[in-house]
Structure 1
Amino acid sequence: MSKLLTRLRLALTVLLTLATLLCPAQLALRYSDGLDPIRKRDFLQVATRNGPITFYAGGHGPTGFEYELMRRFAHSLGVSLAVDSDTRIGGVLDDVRSGKADMGAAALSLDPAQPGIRYSQPILTLQPLVVYRRGLPPVRTLDDLVGLRIGVIADSGNAEALRTQQQNLPGLGWREADGLTIADLLEMVERDDLDAAVVYTHQFKLNRLFFPNVERGFALGEPMSLAWAFAANQPIDLLDAANEFLQSQRRHGRLDELIGRYFGHDDYLEYVGARLFIRHVGTRLPRFLPYFKEAARETGFDWRLLAALGFQESHWKPDAESPTGVRGLMMLTRPTAREIGIDNRLDPRQSVDGGARYLLQVKQRLSEDIPEPDRTWMALAAYNVGLGHLFDAQEIAQLRGGDPDRWADVREALPLLQEREWYSRVHHGYARGGEPVIYVRNVRRYYEILKYVNRSQQQFNQLGERALDGSTAPLETVAPLL
């Protein structure tokens, strides 16, 4: 038996040697052809679009669900990531077909009929959703759409969903817009340029907070699949590597975790309520109170403002972490921590100190012509969205005839960074500009609550001292919050 196995191994070796001599090109293609150019240049080139699902510049650097996923994919290949942002879905697919990009990741729906394109396995489900302007009669069925001005982004799965429904409802009509973002489309509904639009559920969840006059209608047709695009005329190695990567992410729970972080809820910026906040003041804040007061002495900020900022960032959780890798009680990026001399972002004392000093640096870079408290509110907005985007909002405020040194005018301008009409006119491009507006609003509310609780506690203690009637015994009351 052992002699037979030896002969079989020898025969297999001879066959492989002959195959190598006879078909070297085919074997080389199998093992290296598709990934070698990427590894030689040391980066993966991806075509994408600006948007909250895909890719945008956040306050702590590039972010977005697909950006985070493709960054992980590039890392799995041992290369860096290069991103080129197009305004059109069709432009993204053209870049993939022509070889200008190695792959496309732009909230693309899997479309087997798309010429010249191969798709990865599905990444997540995309459900087309009809939304409409508040004040119109409720839009609950397909028949309710007849006669409405409906908009959809060209080359998207949502446009295809409408075409499918049109077969059963010939009177259904719509306009396809090329080069618009989801925020642009929702803004058109909000300002009465359109009556309704079709977007994906995930996109609406991420934007609904900024368009209060846009209502959820009904799910349109069957769910679709978000996938990555690859050129059909290129070796299949990169597609195979992407599918293997996605399978691994799904198998180990990392993909579900990422989906949950970005799309698990849509109210993470909403005010959490005084009762919950005050409960955390009593249970979590005392541990970190000395750090906030120490940082306040060093930077000149009110410690209650720093504490409010810390709660908005992490709910006073020292081990908090965001999808983009910012960590700690004050949610610092690695580069920011390094710049201000913080070596352990999960150490709450270091995090509070670093966050306070970073906020001070941001504030010092703002014009001294900005009066208080506007300068502080703008510094908080920049802490969230980044100084570059804040400067852009100031420029937009001025273009609209407002005062770039007034927070009220800059606050009105920030959400316009979501609209192509405006972000295309400034330096740093698209941003989810509605977020810093809500962010500053929340910090200010927490700050006011802390000031109120502090004042009330002092008054309560004074009343207690008078009630002692000269007694030196301790007053038996609820332990003070602060």
Structure 2
Amino acid sequence: MNIRTLIHFLKWLVPALALLYLPLAYLLFFQNIRDLDDIKIQGRARIILSYDPINYLIYRGTPMGFSYEAAEHFCRYLGVDMDVVLAEDINQQLPALKYGKGDIVAHNLTITPQRTAIVSFSSPLDYTEQVLIQRKPRPAAKGERAPRLLLSAEELEGKTVSVRRGSAYYSQLLKLKNNQAIALSIETVPGVTSTSQLIRDVATGAIDYTVADRDIAEAHRTLYPNLDFTTTISPRQPLAWAVGKRSPQLESELNKWLSRADTKLHLRILHAKYYDRQYTFRRRTLRAFHSEKAGMISVYDNLIRSYAAKIGWDWRMLASLMYEESQFDANAVSWAGATGLMQLMPATAGMFKITNLFDPESNIRAGTRYLKMLHKEWKDIPDPETRLKFILASYNVGPGHVRDAQALAVKFKKDPHLWEDNVEHYLRLKSKSKYYRDKVTRYGYCNGIMPVEYTKNILARYNLYQQAIPL
């Protein structure tokens, strides 16, 4: 075959192959793109979410988060069930939507030209502005020049700011570099790194600066009092959910739902719960004991003694757990909806057919039954004192996260049946994306420092109770 014949053959072959394979490619990549009618016929909406401590997390075995609960509300409005499609890397959310892996990205995204080129956006759920996250200056030593806060974007000249590539924060920093000629350096981190993790990294000194939406930053204020969030680096920007460009009916229905008065009220309640209350909910103090009469810990001592005996606990240990949970406030309700003396989630109480969690005896009965269940869960831990630490941590965040920490301990050649420096260490690390997204884990993000400190607090207080309160 001569060259001329070969060229002629290829000119015929390439279009023929295109005609053959383009429909196949369409079916492969776009067959699952759906609009509202398809969703209602199938009875399920696929909601794309990523684990983070505000939008989607599993707490005490219960899925929750601002985006998760808002999407649940929308699915109830549609009259369909909700399937969560997990995008492990936040940068995978929009490509997953574009190629039909889900129907909606239920994440408050900044609307940018780059994003609107590939997806459509709902009406805004909220508005925000981007702020610089920086450490507050420490007092200067004698003879040192006093450090100061950066008060404007222009003062980022020569500084390095760490953000996710592809994020709206990255786009804004590029604008500052290119449009305002500010010679700053942008350090990019993997898409699996959450904004909360970057904020923590600034607090601990691992990095110097990052950027966050103001409401996300303010949600971390009480958690990291050494940080400053006052310097604004962007104009006010709308935040919205994303839908596919080939789903106009779904976009229209989503906007109708957002315009409803009950939706606006529900979103305000969720915003208060996850942005305003999650990290500012009343802190528990390590007080030795609450006593109006000598030998007493609380007005519920008799109930505590009775129910502690049913599970073979020292009643003072149960009292210490109860103080850590509610400070003996029978009407306490946490940011997550945990209720009463032992701060039980309604779903947990429902397992024991207990409905009135504000009744002290009912609450303690449900709480001790749950503790008995956790004893069975951790029967594989041979040492009783060690087993107690697994039980306490599980009571705080649910056994799933502690099992994840065990799996990480095994992976990294540690002992899954020991607490200190083993499972405890990896539970702490479950707030880092490298660990909560590891293939051996199942339950996603966990602010692991909290159950670790929770367990230490209860044991330390119990030690004080032992010294001060008769058995």
Tell me the equivalent position of 1:140.
Answer: 150
- What does residue 109 of structure 1 align with? 110
The answer to whether the aligner puts 1:219 opposite 2:229 as a matched pair is no
Q: Deviations over 1:164-203 (max 9, x none)?
A: 3332243122033342223443465567663322123444
- State the distance in 1 between where 2:109 and 2:293 align: 44
Q: 1: CA distance between counterparts of 2:428 and 2:272?
A: 25
Asked whether the equivalents of residues 290 and 297 of structure 2 are also in contact (C-alpha less than 8 Å), the reply is no
Match among 424, 427, 432 for residue 441 of structure 2:
427
Tell me if the contact between 1:285 and 1:316 (Cα under 8 Å) persists in the aligned partners: no
Structure 1 residue 46, shift from structure 2 partner: 0.8
Contact 1:158/1:198 (<8 A) preserved: yes
Decide whether the 8 Å contact of 1:89 with 1:154 is kept in 2. no
- 1:313-347: CA deviations, max 9, x gaps? 34444454456554443333444334334354443
**1:95-150: per-residue Cα shift (whole Å, max 9, x none)?**
22333311102341233662132222332343423224688954423344333332
Q: Which residue type is aligned with residue 77 of structure 1?
A: L
Matched residue, 2:454: 439
* Aligned AA (1:164): K
CA distance in 1, matches of 2:166, 2:62: 29
Which runs of no fewer than 5 residues in structure 2 stay unpaired? Answer: 1-33, 139-146
What pairs up with 1:219-368 in 2 under 5 angstroms?
219-236=232-249, 238-248=250-260, 253-265=265-277, 266-268=279-281, 270-272=283-285, 274=287, 278=290, 286-322=298-334, 324-368=336-380
Q: TM-score, normalised by structure 2?
A: 0.77
Report the equivalent of 1:13.
Answer: none
Cα distance, 1:45 vs. partner? 0.7
Moved more, 390-399 or 295-304: 390-399
Matched-pair contact (CA < 8 Å) for 1:152–1:174: yes
1:374-394 CA deviation, whole Å, 9 max, x = no partner?
Answer: 322221111122212102213
Query: Cα distance, 1:308 vs. partner?
Result: 3.2
The 3-state SS of whatever aligns with 2:109 is: coil
Give secondary structure in 2 for the equivalent of 1:278.
coil
TM-score (norm 1): 0.75
**Matching residue's letter, 2:110:** S
Match 1:158 to one of 169, 176, 185 = 169
CA–CA separation in structure 2 for the residues paired with 1:311 and 1:224: 43
Matched AA of 2:128: L
Number of equivalenced pairs: 421
C-alpha contact 1:417 1:433 (8 A) present in aligned 2: yes
Alignment match, 2:48: 47
Q: Is the 8 A contact 1:157 1:224 kept in 2?
A: no
Pick which of 310-319 and 100-109 moved more: 310-319
Gaps of at least 5 residues in structure 1 are 1-32, 459-482
Q: Is the 8 A contact 1:126 1:201 kept in 2?
A: yes
SS of 1:259's partner is helix
* CA–CA separation in structure 2 for the residues paired with 1:55 and 1:281: 45
Stretch of structure 1 that moved more, 178-187 or 289-298? 178-187
- 1:139 touches 1:145 (CA, 8 Å); kept in 2? no
In the aligned structure 2, how far is the partner of 1:86 from the partner of 1:71? 18
Q: Which has the higher Rg, Structure 1 or Structure 2? A: 1
Distance 1:139 1:415, change over 3 A: farther
Identical-residue share of aligned pairs (%): 26
Shift of the 403–161 alpha-carbon distance from structure 1 to 2, 3 Å rule, reads same
Q: Find out whether 1:60 has 2:61 as its counterpart.
A: yes
Measured in 2, the distance between the counterparts of 1:433 and 1:59 equals 12
Amino acid at match of 1:411: E
In structure 2, the residue matched to 1:83 is 84
